[in-house]
Amino acid sequence: MKTTLLLRDIYFEAFRELGNFVVRNYFKAFAWFSFAMFATVVYAFVFRIATGFAFV
């Protein structure tokens, strides 16, 4: 029984740390992706203004 409890504690500890690692890196990747998409939109808008695109 003690071995089972020890394995359970090791399992929970390992996946608790893994979960934080995955979530932290997911949000970091999502932030960079969002920044890249926003930069693309700003570039396209400035390009349209610079080339005289009629928005109406």
Give yes or no for residue 45 having a pLDDT over 90.
Answer: yes
Could you tell me which residue, 24 or 33, shows the higher pLDDT?
A: 33
C-alpha span between 9 and 4 (Å, rounded) = 9
At residue 1 the predicted structure's pLDDT band, cuts being 50, 70 and 90, is confident
At residue 42 the predicted structure's pLDDT band, cuts being 50, 70 and 90, is very high
Q: What is the average pLDDT value for the chain, to the nearest integer?
A: 88
- What's the structural domain count of the chain? 1
Q: Tokens for 16, please give them.
A: 């608790």
Q: Which domain holds residue 50?
A: 1-56
Q: Tokens for 28, please give them.
A: 């970091």
Give yes or no for residue 51 having a pLDDT over 90.
Answer: yes
